[in-house]
Structure 1
Amino acid sequence: MTFQFRFEKFAALAWLPLLLLSHCWAQESISLSIAKPAFEQDGSAGFASMVSRGYTPLFNGKDLGGWRNPYPYGEAKVVGGEIHLLADQKFFLVTDKKYADFRVSVEIHLPEGDANSGVMFRCHVDDDAAKKVYGYQAECDGSDRRWSGGFYDESRRGWIWPSTKGRSEDQFLNHEQESKASFAEPAVANALNRNGWNRYVVTCVKDVITIELNGVQTVRFRDATDASGFIGIQHHGEKGQTYRFRNLFIKELPQIPAEQHVSLVQQEPVSIKRISDKVTQLDFGKVAFGNLAMPIATGSGTGSVHFGEKLKEGRIDRSPPGTVRYGTTPIRNGQQLGNWVVPAPVDARNVEQAGLMNANPPAVLTPSSWGSVMPFRWIEIEGLDDDFPFELIRRRAAFSATWNDDASSFECSDESLNKIWDLCKYSIKATTFAGVYVDGDRERIPYEADAYLNQLSHYTTDDNVKMAARSFDWLMENGTWPTEWAPHMVFMAHAEWMYSGDVDWLAHRYESLKAKTLMHRSGEDGLVRSSEVDQKRTDIVDWPQKERDKFVFTEINTVVNAFHIEALERMAQMARAVGKDDDAKAFGDRVELAKAAFQETLFDAAAGIYRDGVGTDHSSIHANFFPLAFGLVPADKVAGVLAWLEAKDMQCSPYAAQYFLDGLFDNGSDRKAIELMIADGDRSWKHMLNSGTTISWEAWDLKYKPNQDWNHAWGAAPANLLPRCVLGVQPIAPGWSTAMIRPCPGGLKHARGRVPTPLGPVEIDWKKESTFTISLALPDGMTAKVDLPATDASKGVFVDGKDVDATKVGDRWVLDKLMTGSVKIEVK
């Protein structure tokens, strides 16, 4: 099994986090070292991690520059890279600078005995008052009450969340029972490490305030009392007690990645058509995210520019289905000379930073200097005379500033596959407009599963892929709600490490990944449990819901557990890479425990396939291709599962098709995988081609997802499947120092292409006739293990005409020696 970058075998919504944390199946048998993030004793690793992730230090570790004590008492000093506060009365150390929207991170170590502290944010200072500092505070509660992570309004309104009689205003007592219940949940009540370091992360976006303690979200609340203020840290006033603080960082929001990482490209129209005496239609050939630059029309009067993704009867469809885009912008003629930028219409959802409490994370913004952008191919201009220089109009299309069209190529004997490659490669390029991977144009936010599929395809189409790591960091701070999306963060980190070989990058993020494995929901048998809320809402299996092949949701869900086990397995590999050998062993032990329970509990021995979960006899294709793709099917069971899947059609979404086809390719069913890509009907990439789209869709057709958009990169899986599986090029060691060359030809007669890597491109050209021949060119610094299909009656393998040692494994030949440089290999 060789699913993306596996080398050992060569192969949220606001309230949901708190509900998820109510799971109490995690047992003491789970090693604490892998159950939650660990802190280094000296704090240096934490400092380096925050800098690596783009945070700005509030404290330089040397002096108190940028901070002040507004009180006539209290002592603040720097000791060993920490801020120590000492006092016999309550006081606060505060920043000199005010902040509005931000994410602030502070590590706190409480003293023994009676102790209480916190992080002030958007707070205020009145130097003339007795209580000089007041405002918002994230509570650090050392008492048995265990309200650490709570939301308190210092010297003003008292407790906000949780609230309590006598210490909260009436408006907050409305949620007293709910808020106290949330702090009674074990995960929240036990979030504080009473005798160690604790990381507080406070995020303020407009009036939405979120508090996290050691990776556990404790508060998400809406309050508009303060829009800006200082950051502060507290000594509660216990005489003789020393409060310690370190790693104080801030990231001011909003971050706009496109400002540094995306360029606007001027594009000419490919055709201009005069529709009537006042309407002209321009076609730019493909959809791209952008707006227009056009000469200023002289004279008086007004007009309008219509932007569209779709035509209907030769005109821009002004009432398109789903989230297919259309909009109009008014223009006014004038006397000035030169050009002006015509911004695309703004969809409010694409710029939303703080919507409803149960809405998505903030949208990824594009630079205000651009003017607004939207995806469009056609424009229709009304109100300009036919002598206007329409040929001078340019689309300003937004693409990654480092995108290289020549970095990759693919061509094979099937013309439909060639067109699918072109469609999917361009889909990846066109959706780089925001500087991080987003879900298209409906919400303009990253989702974990979308981003992972986008990442895989970006690696195989471009040769500068810093966007993957950037999207990972964004998602670690702006996670979404589906259960299986959290393990995708482990997949993203693993893929980036295997691609780049950057162990330092991985080490800076390793500890935070422990919260993404679903370990908090697992039991003594190693399997994840799903509450009723999970079964009804957060366990996703596939999206949209119609694409789940009638999956039956139960407490122990086969798909969820397949993701959980795969995440643990990759965590074990990454733990070993960053020198956490004890963690690696603990993760490995957990994998073996969960695998045994998975097989015993979820495999239907009579049918020879996996059921959807415990308590149902229904078997969906998802319950079988996810285990197959993740290598969870025992060797003696693979043939049965594979035969069952080969009899199925594409009964899943474009997202899940990534895993379905990977499982087929990895297990010798490459002919079936290719057939599914180019199948007739409306569930294939051939159907997208026939529709005339130029960017892949979110779903196979509108009838499967009526609100789908037409610019969704998770629908572009062939952009990575064709290079990785048909050409057969994948890394099996970090940084591509060793590659696997394993072409899977299916029914194709030949294929050739260029696959980008950090070391340079891998060039492949293979032909399957009476013999199988492959010309292979590897970049300097790379070796390759070569695994080739065996032709009928083949007897051996020849490299540059010389017989070489090779082992036949099933219907394939595996060369005993690693290859380097440029070689021609023949199986005959």
Structure 2
Amino acid sequence: MFADLNTLFHAPDMTSRLLPALLIAFLTIGFSSAQDTSVHSLSKPASDVDGKAGFAAMISRGYTPLFNGHDLTGWRNPYPHGEAKVVDGEIHLLADNKFFLVTDKKYTDFRVSIEIHLPEGPANSGVMFRCHVDEDAAKRKVFGYQAECDGSDRRWSGGFFDEARRRWIWPSTKGRSLDQFLTHEDESKQFFAAPRVRDALNRNGWNRYEITCLKDLITIELNGVQTVRFRDATDASGFIGIQHHGEEGQTYRFRNLFIKPLPEIPAQQFAALTQQKPVSVKRINDKVTLIDFGKAAFGNIVMPVPQGRGSANVHFGEKLSDGRIDQNPPGTVRYGVTPIHKGGQRGNWIVPAPVIPRNVEQAGLIYANPPAVLTPPQWRSVMPFRWVEVEGLDPDYPFDLIRRRAAYSATWNDDASAFECSDETLNRVWELCKYSIKATTFAGVYVDGDRERIPYEADAYLNQISHYTTDDDVTMAARTFDWLMENGTWPTEWAPHMVFMAQDQWMYSGDDDWLKYRYESLKSKTLLNRSGDDGLVRSSKLDQNRHDIVDWPKKERDGFVFTEINTVVNAFHIRAIKQMAMMARAIGKNQDADAFEDRAELAKAAFQKALFDEAAGIYRDGICTDHSSIHANFFPLAFGLVPADEIAGVVAWLNEQDMQCSPYAAQYFMDALFSQGSGQKAIDLMLADGDRSWKHMVDSGTTISWEAWDLKYKPNQDWNHAWGAAPANLLPRFVLGAQATSPGWTTAMIRPCPGGLEHARGRIPTPRGSIEIEWKNESTFSLALTLPDEMSAKVSLPANEGTTGVFVDGAPVPATKAGNRWLVDAPVQGTVTVLAK
């Protein structure tokens, strides 16, 4: 599917992250009673029998019903013929001539979702959108845009048709399309002949249509397969409608009709502005005053209206140069200026930050990017900045009364988390990374810095797991998951990150219902549709050249060699289907769970056989190459794919490597090292001299983490990118050592990894309350632990040289020594002191 869509949409070379946003999200259709657990079924959502689960799922995702399930309130039939009735929560259309049932209301920008069940025999239906009603017409009363539901052997379901007007738009065909659409006739027909699109319709069952209209951009998805992405400005608003094609005796069934107005602005409800005083005000010369707010944040300023005549300028910047705001910063480091006028009013000006057009664009012409995440219009425009220069005001102006209006999550709690250890630089790294998570919550969902103010799946996942460890009221992760299921992006490995996001949200919250409502939609994210009989995912030439990421930017891939069977892509695939098995089991889909587990075992065996270099004891990048990058080894290690008897060799090899990856991939590199007893190596890499470490970031003076280690590694990088904040989760999860072992944190593992540190202490937020940890790493390893009520934890401590046992509150307890660690046999609760001595 990736190849088909990108070929058709003429994606440019992957020198930018603005490639087509391939919306491959399958919408949730609820609980499945299907018994088919083939690869085909595991990669497509199953529909529920009565539609009730699908209804609940759409409500859970913030949609508004267009149909109340009881009567036809809100709908009308403009024709003198045709019958519409409600049967068991469905709309049934019956007729012997074509007609449409349409809404009473018109809609402009929206996402509409409707399920259709065609009758047996000749049948054709569709969803009208932004359509019109000509009350005076004898026959063609309803006309306009339609998403086709084609029950014939032609199989053009999901096509874009213009009813009673221009007819076929995509695909197009001679005799039934205007000349302007015939220019893509061959292309569009080839697209609909591709198996994934051709077979998208479930001819004898329910089919979910999702149509999105945003300005002139129209997309249609059928059962999760994007069939249309087209620009057409003919209609800006209109009715929603459903069709009976006119076959006598045929009943067309419709259910779960929902709409969501666009654009969504999550910050309207979930973020807030905070007024902040300057930390310093400095007069630079007779015209310019420099104001420092201490840290960068997304926002703008409010200032007393200057009196007098003329104008002044407010300069916003992220970077200084020779004591002044850098007005020509590198990459996408932010600078902008807003002119203001003196006098005329009393009170305060809100001075908006300059607008970056792509960051407010809902349907721009930049390739096929998803819509930008907007901030509330009443805020005025915002941008990331630390410094303000006010140019053109007299020295007696009250500069100290200027305030920054900084935007953060409305529920952010600075006191929810804490970390402190014996290494002061590591403490500075923690503070940088924690604040980076806070500063990037401004939009109400996790966004990709400020160069592209949209969510990306991998970026969002790294934000998510760090948000859990730094704040105590985290709803943003689940909200961003739903956003991305409707606005997905293009990279291969980003799709499995959606499975990771769901798994971690479920483990964090313990909310089985949330998971049930989204489980089916995740099936499209595992890459199963690209896997072969051996269980391994294949990458076409287009995938290898454009979609398979490994790491970003390209120069951070440690020389990775792309092949048809790619080690990193397959590591993500196997981890995703393993997690799908766990989630399926949790919500009672045991046959799915069995099938996913079987598939994971098949793929894991093939993975080891095809990709492990027995002689070298490490993984190759893929088939048909002898090159081994660090990525081909730390991803399998982090995902638990390395056989037990091969772990030591892979770890030993990785311990000899440097930070030959980006801040994104470093999350997984550090995770692999910490989890396999190489915490010292992980901390050494975090604090390494040079320009490829978090030490370099904090020494640079930045207050929000960067997208790359330095501008020379990514010249267009921004300075407000939370995927560079991995220590915000790594230090609590590994150095302090707190990780959930059951959904909702009912049980946990406390496993400190000191890595040579002498002591550490901190606070880790969980949905059940805070975990307090303090440990000292001496000849005796001592741990002071406080757990929230209703949580128990297993404890694993380092087995320092000479230690012979473990004591809890001074009393010896049964414990098992495995390698260089002690594992206390019985879980602990409440407040305890645990010693290994």
Among 498, 507, 511, the alignment partner of 1:498 is 507
SS class of match (1:591): helix
Who is 2:353 aligned against? 344
Match of 1:535 among 529, 535, 544: 544
The question of whether the paired residues in 2 share the 8 Å contact of 1:49 and 1:508 is answered with yes
CA distance in 2, matches of 1:276, 1:104: 57
User: For 1:443, which of 449, 452, 459 is the aligned residue?
Assistant: 452
1:292 and 1:73 map into 2 onto residues whose CA distance is: 61
For structure 1, the residue ranges without an aligned partner over 5 or more in a row are: 1-11, 22-27
Alignment of 1:600-619 (within 5 A): 600-619=609-628
Match for residue 77 of structure 2 among 69, 87, 106: 69
Contact 1:306 1:327 in 2 (8 A): yes
Say which SS state the counterpart of residue 464 (structure 1) adopts: coil
**Contact 1:13 1:480 (C-alpha < 8 Å) held by counterparts:** no
- Contact (CA 8 Å) 2:747, 2:793: kept in 1 or not? yes
Aligned sequence identity (%): 76
Residues in 1 aligned to 2:61 and 2:501: alpha-carbon distance in whole angstroms: 15
- TM-superposed deviation, 1:259: 0.4
Pair 1:431 & 2:440 matched: yes
- Tell me what 1:119 maps to: 127
Aligned twin of 1:110: 118
1:91-240 maps to which residues of 2 (within 5 A)? 91-130=99-138, 131-240=140-249
1:261 aligns with 2:270: yes
Is the contact made by 1:29 and 1:524 (CA closer than 8 Å) also made in structure 2?
A: no
Task: Judge conservation of contact 2:20–2:490 (CA < 8 Å) in 1.
Answer: no
Q: CA deviation at 1:29?
A: 8.9
Match of 2:97 among 84, 89, 93: 89
Match of 2:100, SS state, is strand
Report the AA paired with residue 643 of structure 2.
P
- Superposition deviation, residue 13 in structure 1: 7.2
CA contact (8 A) 1:345 1:374 kept: yes
Q: Deviations over 1:146-182 (max 9, x none)?
A: 0000000000001000000000000000000000000
Distance 1:339 1:137 in 2: 50
CA distance in 2, matches of 1:427, 1:17: 28
**Alignment equivalent of 2:45, drawn from 27, 37, 46:** 37
Give, in whole Å, the separation in 2 of the partners of 1:475 and 1:725: 29
CA distance in 1 between counterparts of 2:581 and 2:40 reads: 15
Q: C-alpha offsets along residues 187-237 of structure 1, whole Å, 9 cap, x if unaligned?
A: 000000000000000011111110000000111111111111110000000
The residue type paired with residue 822 of structure 1 is T
The separation in 1 between residues aligned to 2:366 and 2:223, in whole angstroms, is 22
Structure 2 CA distance for aligned equivalents of residues 212 and 759 of structure 1 = 39
Letter in 2 for 1:52: S
Contact kept, 8 Å, 1:86 with 1:243, in 2: the verdict is yes
| Counterpart AA for 2:600 | V
Whole-angstrom distance in 2 between the partners of 1:410 and 1:18: 39
Q: How far is 1:19 from its partner?
A: 11
SS of residue in 1 equivalent to 2:385: strand
- How far apart are residue 806 of structure 1 and its match? 0.4
Cα distance in 1 for partners of 2:68, 2:425 equals 58
Residue 731 of structure 2 corresponds to residue 742 of structure 1: no
1:398 pairs with 2:407: yes
How far apart in 1 are the matches of 2:187 and 2:614? 46
Equivalent residue of 1:153, what SS?
A: strand
Whether contact under 8 Å (2:24, 2:225) holds in the other structure is: no
Q: Secondary structure at the match of 1:698?
A: coil
Secondary structure at the residue paired with 1:410? strand
Shift of 1:358: 2.4
Deviation at 1:32, TM superposition (A): 3.8
Cα 1:15–1:714 change in 2 (3 A) is closer
Q: Amino acid of the residue matched to residue 442 of structure 1?
A: R
Poorly superposed stretches of 4+, deviation over 3 Å: 12-21, 28-33
SS in 2 for 1:613: coil
Post-superposition CA distance 1:364-406 (Å, at most 9, x none): 0001100100000000001110110111100000000000000
**Does the CA-based 8 Å contact 2:816-2:825 persist in structure 1?**
yes
Deviations 1:512-538 (A, max 9, x none): 000000010000000000001000000
The CA deviation at 1:299 is 1.1
Q: In the TM superposition, what is the alpha-carbon distance from 1:103 to its structure 2 partner?
A: 0.5
Aligned in 2, Cα 1:561/1:658: closer, same or farther, shift over 3 Å? same
Task: Give the partner amino acid of 1:511.
Answer: E
* Partner of residue 465 from structure 1, selected from 454, 474, 481: 474
1:414-458 CA-to-partner distances (Å, cap 9, x unmatched) read 000000000000000000000000001001000000000000000
Q: CA deviation at 1:31?
A: 3.8
Distance 1:159 1:249 in 2: 26
Q: Deviations over 1:444-496 (max 9, x none)?
A: 00000000000000000000000000000000000000000000000000000
Corresponding residue for residue 553 of structure 2: 544
Q: Which aligned pairs between 1:250-289 and structure 2 lie closer than 5 A?
A: 250-289=259-298
- Alpha-carbon distance, 1:18 to partner: 9.6
The one-letter code sitting in structure 1 at the alignment partner of 2:597 is G
By how many angstroms is 1:15 displaced?
5.9
Whole-angstrom CA distance in 2 between matches of 1:89 and 1:14: 45
> Which position in structure 1 is the counterpart of 2:587?
578
Aligned to 1:671: 680
Q: Distance in 1 between matches of 2:614 and 2:124?
A: 57
Instruction: Write the distance in 2 (CA, Å) between the matches of 1:488 and 1:308.
Output: 33
Q: Within 2, Cα distance between the matches of 1:20 and 1:381?
A: 47
Matched, 1:80 2:88: yes
Partner in structure 1 of residue 4 of structure 2: none
Q: Pick from 695, 705, 712: which aligns with 1:696? A: 705
Instruction: Report the residue type matching 2:50 in the other structure.
Output: D
Answer yes or no: is the 8 Å Cα contact 2:44–2:524 preserved in 1: yes
Give the match for residue 768 of structure 2: 759
The Cα of 1:353 is off from its aligned counterpart by 0.9
| 1:140 counterpart SS class | strand
Q: Are residue 60 (structure 1) and residue 68 (structure 2) matched?
A: yes
Query: 1:662 aligned to 2:647?
Result: no
Name the residue aligned to 2:6: none
- Tell me how far apart the structure 2 counterparts of residues 655 and 223 of structure 1 sit (CA, whole Å): 38
User: Which residue identity is paired with 1:529?
Assistant: R
- 1:728 matched to 2:719? The reply is no
Q: How far apart are residue 789 of structure 1 and its match?
A: 0.6
1:275-674 aligned at under 5 Å gives the runs 275-356=284-365, 358-674=367-683
Residue 54 of structure 1 aligns with an amino acid whose one-letter code is G
Stretch deviating more after TM superposition (387-396 or 331-340): 331-340
Cα distance in 2 between the residues matched to 1:129 and 1:774:
81
Task: Determine if contact 1:18/1:218 at 8 Å carries over to the other structure.
Answer: no
> Is contact 1:124–1:134 with CA below 8 Å preserved after alignment?
yes
TM-score with structure 1 setting the length:
0.97
How far the C-alpha of 1:616 sits from its partner, in A, is 0.6
Partners of 2:212 and 2:344 in 1: CA distance:
48
Match of 2:714 among 688, 700, 705: 705
Question: Structure 1 residue 360: deviation in Å?
Answer: 1.2
CA distance in 2 between partners of 1:48 and 1:407 (Å): 33
Q: Show the counterpart of 1:5.
A: none
Classify 1:357/1:277 alpha carbon distance in 2 versus 1 (closer, same or farther; 3 Å): closer
Root-mean-square deviation (CA, aligned residues, Å) is 1.3
Alignment: residue pair count: 811
Give, as a single letter, the amino acid of the residue that structure 2 aligns with 1:327. Answer: G
Which amino acid in 2 is paired with 1:515?
S
Task: State the distance in 2 between where 1:375 and 1:582 align.
Answer: 49
Q: By how many angstroms is 1:14 displaced? A: 7.6
- The answer as to whether partners of 1:288 and 1:376 remain within 8 angstroms in 2 is yes
